[in-house]
């Protein structure tokens, strides 16, 4: 089957990509600005075609625990929500990290804290990258900046989740969820007929029981497990960093931004260059693992770094750690659901260049 070109909202692209990736199940609960994911899947009714289960749970907490159950059976399962709903899912997410279960969780971020607004924001960076739930764990965090990546990262997310037995979060925002762009959809993949060896699907004769749990009563054994997780996270750090550079070759001023902010900054780079300012952009695609090495390398040759986020400044902490003080790092952000414009970013960059 050929790839197919469509015009879709980011949310719709996630939903269609899940079907095509051969997902076994989606469990969700509606919340703006991501309700189209559930709506699209309900309408598509993939149970009649691929056999994928789509279920509206009674709450976010129920949905994530359905994901926990499905993943425990070795199935490709996912859920999605927006900021307040993702907060509700955190217990399930940390349990899955502790039980080393694969899944894809999509967060179409809106303004916060609390119920906040329904407009696009990037204020859940800390929650996604630094934990969210309790305990020493990491999610693999993918940050799409286009509708195409909303689709692509579902398949990639499942691949990474199963490769590392780890939950993957797609950290999007209301703008990418709601906007329409062209998207090339992958051909339909068949749902897997087999499950991984660790799945709890009944004990056949001749092997030990598979046990899936995040509970350990012996601290020494828990520490052994924690060390195993550390090894896994280091392996992810070594192998899975993804980022994209725009006009960085001769850049004197570097912007670092992901998702919608990265799109805004791409335009800001064009505008700045038209005014003779040699600006460049590094766009992290994975937020965990963070592209520290590429940023550190660019810090050798640029005069300053400006991080642009739709938050009070969260990713900037990882940028600061990456550059180890080699170069000044500044933050420009809008909050509450306000998206910065390219002009604002250029103005801010100019202010920083002259030392404002």
Partner 1 sequence: MTEEIIIAGFGGQGVLSMGKIMAYSGVMQDMEVSWMPSYGPEMRGGTANVIVILSNERISSPIIRHFDTGIILNQQSLDKFEEAIKPGGVLIYDGNGITRHPVRKDIRIYRVDAAEEASRLKSPKTYNMIVLGGFLRIKPVLTLENVIKGLRKSLPERYHKLIPENEKSLLRGEEIIKEVKVN
Does the protein bind partner 1 through residue 182 (CB under 8 A)? yes
Does the protein bind partner 1 through residue 280 (CB under 8 A)? no
How many residues at the interface with partner 1, by CB under 8 A?
Answer: 25
Q: Which stretch binds partner 1 (CB under 8 A): 58-66, 209-217, 256-264, 286-294?
A: 256-264
Residue 136 CB partners (closer than 8 Å, separation 6+): 226, 229, 230
Does the protein bind partner 1 through residue 264 (CB under 8 A)? yes
Q: Which of 33, 74, 98, 116 binds partner 1 (CB under 8 A)?
A: 33
What's the min distance (Å) between Cβ of 246 and partner 1? 9
CA–CA dist 231, 81 (Å, integer) = 30
Does the protein bind partner 1 through residue 245 (CB under 8 A)? no
Task: Assign 98 to helix, strand or coil.
Answer: helix
Neighbouring C-beta atoms of residue 340, cutoff 10 Å: 21
CA distances to 20, 105, 301, 352 from 76, in Å: 12, 11, 44, 47
Q: Which of 115, 180, 231, 321 binds partner 1 (CB under 8 A)?
A: 180
Closest listed residue to residue 154, CA positions, set 347, 21, 288: 21
- Exposed / middle / buried, residue 250 (Cβ in 10 Å: 0-12, 13-18, 19+): exposed
Does the protein bind partner 1 through residue 266 (CB under 8 A)? yes
Our CB check for partner 1 shows the closer of 78 and 346 to be: 346
Neighbouring C-beta atoms of residue 87, cutoff 10 Å: 19
Our CB check for partner 1 shows the closer of 180 and 230 to be: 180
Does the protein bind partner 1 through residue 115 (CB under 8 A)? no
Q: Which of 118, 199, 229, 320 binds partner 1 (CB under 8 A)?
A: 118
Q: Which of 39, 91, 159, 181 binds partner 1 (CB under 8 A)?
A: 181
Neighbouring C-beta atoms of residue 206, cutoff 10 Å: 5
- Interface with partner 1 (CB under 8 A): 5, 7, 32-33, 117-119, 174-175, 178-182, 260, 263-264, 266-268, 270, 339, 341-343
């Amino acid at each position: 089957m050929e790839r197919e070109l469509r015009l879709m909202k980011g949310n719709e692209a996630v939903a269609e990509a899940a079907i095509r990736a051969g997902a076994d199940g989606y469990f969700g609960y509606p919340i703006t600005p991501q309700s189209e994911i559930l709506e699209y899947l309900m309408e598509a009714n993939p149970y009649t075609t691929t056999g994928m289960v789509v279920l509206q749970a009674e709450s976010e907490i129920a949905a994530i625990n359905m994901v926990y159950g499905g993943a425990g059976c070795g199935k490709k399962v996912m859920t999605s929500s927006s900021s307040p709903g993702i907060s509700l899912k955190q217990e399930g997410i940390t349990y899955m990290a502790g039980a080393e279960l694969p899944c894809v969780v999509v967060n179409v971020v809106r303004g916060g804290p609390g119920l906040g607004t329904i407009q696009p924001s990037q204020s859940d960076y800390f929650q996604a990258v630094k934990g969210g739930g309790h305990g020493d764990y990491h999610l693999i965090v993918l940050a799409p900046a286009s509708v195409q990546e909303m689709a692509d990262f579902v398949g990639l997310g499942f691949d990474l989740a199963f490769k590392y037995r780890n939950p993957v979060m797609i950290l999007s925002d209301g703008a990418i969820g709601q906007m329409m762009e062209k998207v090339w959809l992958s051909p339909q993949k068949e749902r897997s007929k087999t499950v991984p060896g660790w799945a709890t699907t009944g004990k056949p004769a001749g092997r030990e029981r598979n046990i899936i749990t995040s509970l350990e009563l012996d601290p020494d054994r828990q520490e052994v497990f924690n060390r195993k997780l550390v090894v896994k996270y280091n392996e992810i750090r070594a192998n899975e960093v993804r980022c994209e550079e725009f006009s960085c070759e001769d850049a004197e001023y570097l912007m670092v931004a992901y998702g919608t902010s990265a799109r805004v900054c791409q335009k800001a780079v064009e505008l700045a260059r038209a005014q003779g300012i040699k600006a460049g952009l590094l766009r992290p695609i994975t937020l965990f693992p963070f592209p520290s090495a590429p940023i550190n390398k660019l810090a050798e040759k640029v005069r300053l770094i400006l991080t642009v986020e739709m938050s009070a400044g969260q990713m900037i902490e990882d940028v600061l750690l990456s550059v180890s003080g080699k170069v000044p790092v500044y933050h420009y952000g809008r909050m509450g659901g306000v998206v910065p414009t390219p002009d604002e970013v250029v103005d801010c960059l100019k202010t920083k260049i002259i030392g404002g």
